[in-house]
A and B are shown apart, each in its own frame.
Chain A
Amino acid sequence: MAVVETRDLTKVFKEGQLGAVNNVNLETREGEFLVFLGPSGSGKTTLLRMIAGLETPTSGEILIGGQVVNDLSPRERRIAMVFQSYALYPHLSVYKNIAFPLKAQNVKKELHKEKVEWAASLLGIGALLDRKPRELSGGERQRVALARAIVREPAVFLLDEPLSNLDAKLRASAREELERFHRRVGTTTIYVTHDQVEAMAMGDRVMVLNKGVVRQLGTPTDVYDNPADTFVATFLGSPPMNLAELGDVIVGFRPEHFRPVSTVTDAAVPFRFKVENIEYLGSEWIVSGTLAGGKLEGKKVFSRLSSAQNLQLSGTYDFAVPQNHLKFFDRSSEKRVEPRAVSWQQHATK
């Protein structure tokens, strides 16, 4: 097990252009499950590939277990990587796929069988060892890829969107399996995804990236409840955080905190809400509409409710947001700032 560290890590693909990864500083914790989360093109995969040694950094340092590994080849970094496509060797049986890293690292031949069987049983694929990758389902392939990664007991696991090729139903169970797998082996893991649900569910910590820049690094609760800037605020959550400009600040609140005034018991800021669309999603309702009256007249907002049966299209209702759930961002830098008093024009604080 080891800690991965990057210092001012930068990757510029074409000179003169904006870097794919810019001055990233991070330090994993021992045995942690760290998620890189960002939209496509945010540099998360490039960052992972630099840590793996598949991409050469333009500047900055990478340390694994305290040792600078910039000039080490992937094989010398003691890492294992699971690719988005799984990259199984199609001409080799599952057994030979899993045994390949052992062979490549000159592990004694007598130990191969034992280790392959150990890795296969850990992932429940002991019965598939004679098959070829093309005879496996997506979920089985993913497990083979994981077994191939774990078999030589690496210091660090790198996973590049390993669930994105699975269908929705399989993804949930594969996610759970991955979590359990990580708890069992306890190896430091870096996981790249663009799926916020995966990031929130699996990460001990989540690093949100955009345009090659780290926007926030924190626990899932941190990034969700206290987003560092408006990008993080809107990237996480579905529907995203409602944002409204008010003077020199941007005020934000999550849809689930925007509720009919009768259900809010804390100190709250009231709004008039004109309902324009109602979606029933089974366990919850997503209501969208515009604010009415005051400085935010006409601002489009979402509300997430456990029940919206008493709301009607085109009706206008009294809604409110508990004061402690209002987030404030600086209008020019878009960074979060301390809560401050703003004039809403409707001062009736309950």
Chain B
Amino acid sequence: MFSPAVLYILLLVGGPFFLAIFYAFSDARIGNAEMHFVGLENFRSILQSPSFRVAIRNSFIFTICSQIVVIVGANILAISLEKTFRGRGIIRFLILLPWVAPIALGAIGWKWILDSIYSVITWVLVAIHIYKPFSAPMWLGEPRLAIASVLLVHSWRLMPFSTVILLAGRTAIPKDIPEAAAVDGAGFWRTQLQIVIPMMRPIISVAVLFGLIFTFTDMTVVYILTAGGPFDSTQTLPSLAFALGIQGSDLAAGAAISLFLVPLLVIIAYFMLRVAHRAEVN
């Protein structure tokens, strides 16, 4: 009964996964049919490479910081979208747009917004005399700004997803509860921070865990916005694996880098399953 699913997982997930493990211990290169077993040589050289250390650091920065931004932002959006007002449907639709549009399209849009010459942001800042023409910051050209830009786009992209999940979570809380809190004397902030949001903990964990996986494994945003630059300063594990393994033809190095994702994803998956299990039990 499960055989199509099993087959699908074996072919499309299991196959590449074991191939990656196999490559990581070899000296496989694109365009070279010969392959030798080299033991841990690939891992040793990766761990010594500064680009790899930056990529690991970035992967964590992007994932964790964007999740913080997303959860705070999504809570604010969910609270404001909960009440009924004119045009709520349209606003909900607009907020959902970044999620339904292909990542590549969104990222290209942002590339324009942050472009060194055509940037709208720069144009506005110049127009209101915060910067002089030609001296405005290069959003994607300076390492720190580039990191901030990637973070911004990741947050922008995940916000709608979390908002929708949190909205669903909020509507699942009986109306009596915030009302009881109001009668008990709690103001808006206390009701939100001590009653509603703690009650939504399981649903927030779901949003966070999904967000972690989406951001951690994503390479599109980095690849389109900065291609890992300037000077590999925005490289993440997936984008570095792609740059070395596919673009640089060093399949073995790419495979070894991507294997570093596995332990982290396993931990996240474990927590996801636990949350799902707890939701089932309750």
A-B contact count (CB 8 A): 59
Does B187 sit within 8 A of A, measured CB to CB? yes
Which of A8-16, A85-93, A312-320 forms part of the interface with chain B?
Answer: A85-93
Of all chain B residues, which has the CB nearest A75?
Answer: B185
Task: Determine if A87 and B186 form an interchain contact, defined as CB atoms under 8 angstroms apart.
Answer: no
Q: Is B177 an interface residue (CB 8 A)?
A: yes
The distance in angstroms between the C-alpha atoms of A52 and B183, with both chains bound, is 7
CB proximity of B103 to chain A, nearest CB, Å:
36
Contacting residues of chain A (22-55) with chain B, CB-CB under 8 angstroms: 52-54
Q: Are A101 and B184 in contact (CB under 8 A)?
A: yes
**CB of B102 to closest CB in A, whole Å:** 39
Report the bound CA distance from A22 to B142 in whole Å: 67
Known: A90-B199, A91-B198. A83 touches B181 (CB 8 A): no
| CA of A79 to CA of B180, assembled, Å | 11
CB of A104 within 8 Å of the partner chain: yes
Kindly name the residue among B180, B183, B195, B198 whose own CB sees the greatest number of chain A CB atoms within 10 A.
Answer: B183
Give which listed residue, B187, B195, B201, contacts A89 with CB less than 8 A. Answer: B195
Rounded to whole Å, the gap between the CB of A146 and the closest CB of chain B is 13
Residues of B within 8 A of A84 (CB): 176
> Is the CB–CB distance between A75 and B186 below 8 Å?
yes
Q: Which chain A residue lies CB-closest to B282?
A: A134
Q: Give the chain A neighbours of B182 by CB distance below 8 A.
A: 53-54, 73-75
Whether, in the assembled complex, B82 has its beta carbon less than 8 Å from a beta carbon of chain A, the answer is no
Minimum CB–CB distance for A47 against chain B, Å: 15
CA distance A234 to B261 in the complex (A): 74
Q: Contacts of B198 on A, CB cut-off 8 Å?
A: 91
C-alpha spacing A79/B184, complex, angstroms = 8
Contact of A87 among B174, B185, B190, B201 (CB under 8 A): B174
Residue of B nearest to A49 (CB): B179
User: In the bound complex, do residue B179 and residue A87 qualify as a contact, i.e. CB atoms below 8 Å apart?
Assistant: yes
**Inter-subunit contact A75/B183 (CB<8 Å):** yes
CB contacts (< 8 Å) of B179 on chain A: these are 54, 74, 83, 87
A74-117 interface with B by 8 A CB criterion: 74-75, 79-81, 83-85, 87, 89-91, 100-101, 103-105
- A141 CB within 8 Å of chain B: no
Q: Does A148 have its Cβ within 8 Å of any Cβ on chain B?
A: yes
- Residues of B84-115 whose CB lies within 8 A of A: none
CB B189 to nearest CB in A, in angstroms, measures 11
Q: Are B180 and A152 in contact (CB under 8 A)?
A: no
Contact across chains for B199 and A91 when beta carbons are under 8 A apart: yes
Contact A85 B181 (CB under 8 A): no
Contact B174 A104 (CB under 8 A): no
For A152, the chain B residues whose CB sits under 8 A away are 185
A89 proximity list for chain B (CB < 8 A):
177, 180-181, 195, 199
Specify which of A80, A91, A103 is in contact with B183 (CB 8 Å cutoff): A80
Q: Which residues of A contact B176 (CB under 8 A)?
A: 83-85, 87
- Asked if A104 contacts B180 (CB within 8 A), the reply is no
A100 to B183, CA, bound (A): 11
Task: Give me 28 A-to-B residue pairs in the complex whose CB atoms sit less than 8 angstroms apart, sorted by A's number.
Answer: A52-B183, A53-B183, A54-B179, A54-B182, A73-B182, A74-B179, A74-B185, A75-B183, A75-B186, A75-B187, A79-B183, A84-B176, A85-B174, A87-B174, A87-B179, A87-B180, A89-B180, A89-B195, A91-B198, A91-B199, A91-B201, A100-B181, A100-B194, A101-B184, A103-B194, A104-B187, A104-B190, A105-B185
Known: A53-B182, A89-B177. 6 other contacts (CB 8 A): A54-B182, A74-B182, A80-B183, A83-B180, A85-B174, A89-B181
Nearest first, the 7 closest Cβ-Cβ pairs linking A and B are: A87-B180, A87-B176, A104-B185, A75-B185, A101-B184, A104-B186, A105-B185
